[in-house]
Structure 1
Amino acid sequence: MTQDFVHLRMHTEFSIKDGMLNPKKVVHKAIASGMKALAITDATAMFGDVIFYKAASAAGIKPILGADCSITNHYNRDDYLRLLFLARNHQGYLTLCDLLSRAWLTNQYKDRGEVDLDWITPEMADGLIVLSGFNTGAIGKAILNGSSSAAEQEARRLSQKFPHFFMELQRVGRPNDEMLVAESVKLAKKLGLPVVATQPIQFENPEDFEFHEARVAIADGFTLANKARPRIYTPQQYFRTKEEMCELFKDIPSAIENSVEIAKRCNVTIKLGKPQLPIFPTPDGMSLKDYMAQLAREGLDRRL
């Protein structure tokens, strides 16, 4: 029998610069593959979460909400890092909303909002499941740069900061994927860290690759024929079935099993159909209704 597997990394059309998946339609792709849960993890954004949550819940698929976040690199701001955050519970979901809002409002660099890990308290960290980012995270980049000691230092730092931390493994045909998988597994074993297999999904089917490349080129201001255009995606970044993922990581079965374990731990319920307003502070014990009326009158006086 084929093992169960859950996709924990997926960029939809709401990722703005990359990703082509429709958050409603992709749910049916997961059902066809026999998956019981699915995550949406757009790039530093959660715009598609409610649409995805509604579609998944209606179809009987467990929705997992997260984000593929840009992380501030204090040593070299141009060489930004990434971590994948998944909301473990409602508090984790609120934490992720807060982090992304703060990133875009107070910590923009060039064209991205960056999360600063110094913002995250132990209470905030407990509501999140964190994946290492593979080749885009601090650990993976250190390994690719040939510094095993720096990779180990980063792995220790992140696993100490985040109690639900996993080393991420990917195989999508990039030149250094196999080396990075091997070194990541070796480091995880040394430090006693769990590993998890992810598929960095950007589009639905392999034949959609060229369309995705066109979208990315437009977003980056390049033509497809430009030899200087960055080429960071591969045709293998499509929505693989669970059978394909189990075959791809048959040599590391725990990486497949942990995708399901993570899905079991992510339990977020969103209240729909009613406005969700924040608790707003009012002066001198005034009711919110009276304070809003006062502010409205003051605003009208200013305009008149």
Structure 2
Amino acid sequence: MTEFVHLHVHSEYSLLDGLSSCKELAERAVELGNRALALTDHGVMYGAVQFYKACREAGIKPISGMEAYVAPRSHRDRDAKLDRKPYHLVLLAQNDTGYHNLMRLATIAQLEGFYYKPRVDKELLAEHSDGLIVLSGCGSSEVSRLLQNGQSDQARKVINWYRDVFPGRYYLELQEHDIPELTQVNRQLISLARELDLPLVATNDTHYTRREDASIHDVLLCIQTGKTVTEPKRMRMNGDSFYLKSGEEMAALFPEAPDALANTLRIAEMCQVELEFGHYHLPPFQVPEGYDAQSYLRHLCEEGLHRKYTPVTPRERERLDYELDIIHQMGF
């Protein structure tokens, strides 16, 4: 059996684009003998907790990630001609710092960068680069688009930027989906990897769990675009290859780059994120000198009590003590 880990996977939380539930993906990964599985939904982390729990329940390592939308200019720019087509980029959390940076990027993308898609930009990526592993992306990535347009020198500049910002954590991503342009890009990426001494990684752009799910996924795309399956001119995936493939299937796609498959295992080993449940995660609150959190809360409540009640009767005092006891007993 060829060992392989899927690092580019969309669930139903890639709304109207991914078909599978987190549970289905985790269970199928186990059937394939995978030791880990990543989730990289489009621009969001809605499914992160559910995915983490599903993988733990299935007995494999969850890898938290996101396929980010990167604005061609600033994430705040909103020009209809220049900013409607963001680049795709895969981000994986290597550790707890990376997981928090993923959450920050996803939040900023929604609150500040949303223009058709939730977007970040390179300045934000550099600011939140710690603990993140980066895959160069699919055919809609910046590097792939430049190579498809014959701009190999500019592609090198982009690659070098990512290599500098994510030292030792940037991989050139290979995908094969019977798309002629993508096949040509793969050849160039392999050449650039050898030239620039960068690692390759093989992925499958997974949007559904099994090959036979392709027709159902096609219906989902019709819902997304407001079309019917009988319309010839509509968005559709090229073939039925966007599923969780076996290691053997992936090895057959990239016989010239066995290191690209081996690096999926390497990345899986690098990613060590543990999420804790059943505990409160409260933000730190600075209290004045001479107080701890409980005594300062008591101090504030006492001030408020005397401000609102004159005089303070045993009834109000008893109620305040009761409320504070409940708060402290619950761990707040």
TM-score by length of 2: 0.82
The count of residues paired between Structure 1 and Structure 2 equals: 294
Amino acid at match of 2:135: L
Q: Which 5+ residue runs of structure 1 have no aligned equivalent?
A: none
User: Is the contact between residue 173 and residue 203 of structure 2 (CA under 8 Å) also seen in structure 1?
Assistant: yes
Shift of 1:58: 2.3
Give deviations 1:126-172, integer Å, cap 9, x for gaps: 30000001311111100011111111111111111112100000011
Is residue 2:102 matched to residue 1:103?
Answer: no
1:37 maps to which residue?
Answer: 36
User: Is the contact between residue 22 and residue 50 of structure 2 (CA under 8 Å) also seen in structure 1?
Assistant: yes
Is residue 2:84 matched to residue 1:78?
Answer: yes
Task: State the alpha-carbon separation in 1 of the partners of residues 10 and 287 from structure 2.
Answer: 40
Counterpart among 215, 218, 234 of residue 229 in structure 1: 234
Task: State the alpha-carbon separation in 2 of the partners of residues 209 and 225 from structure 1.
Answer: 15
Is residue 2:297 matched to residue 1:290?
Answer: yes
Is residue 2:95 matched to residue 1:89?
Answer: yes
Relative to structure 1, the CA distance from residue 280 to residue 141 in structure 2 (aligned partners, 3 Å threshold; closer, same or farther) is farther
Amino acid at match of 2:8: R
Task: State the alpha-carbon separation in 1 of the partners of residues 281 and 178 from structure 2.
Answer: 43
Task: State the alpha-carbon separation in 2 of the partners of residues 17 and 159 from structure 1.
Answer: 33
Aligned residue for 2:242, secondary structure, equals coil
Give deviations 1:215-264, integer Å, cap 9, x for gaps: 12212233333343223453110111112112222221000000100000
Q: Which 5+ residue runs of structure 2 have no aligned equivalent?
A: 75-81, 309-332
| Bigger Rg, which one | 2
Moved more, 148-157 or 253-262: 148-157
Runs of 4+ in 1 over 2 A off after TM superposition: 220-228, 230-234, 274-291
Relative to structure 1, the CA distance from residue 27 to residue 146 in structure 2 (aligned partners, 3 Å threshold; closer, same or farther) is same
Task: State the alpha-carbon separation in 2 of the partners of residues 104 and 201 from structure 1.
Answer: 24
Moved more, 163-172 or 211-220: 211-220
Task: State the alpha-carbon separation in 2 of the partners of residues 131 and 54 from structure 1.
Answer: 24
Identity of matched residues, %? 33
Aligned residue for 1:83, secondary structure, equals strand
Task: State the alpha-carbon separation in 2 of the partners of residues 68 and 46 from structure 1.
Answer: 10
User: Is the contact between residue 218 and residue 237 of structure 2 (CA under 8 Å) also seen in structure 1?
Assistant: no
Amino acid at match of 2:161: R
2:272 maps to which residue?
Answer: 267
Amino acid at match of 1:59: A
Counterpart among 136, 142, 145 of residue 146 in structure 2: 142
TM-score by length of 1: 0.89
Task: State the alpha-carbon separation in 2 of the partners of residues 206 and 59 from structure 1.
Answer: 21
Shift of 1:290: 2.9
User: Is the contact between residue 70 and residue 86 of structure 2 (CA under 8 Å) also seen in structure 1?
Assistant: yes
Aligned-pair Cα RMSD in Å: 2.4
Relative to structure 1, the CA distance from residue 233 to residue 105 in structure 2 (aligned partners, 3 Å threshold; closer, same or farther) is farther
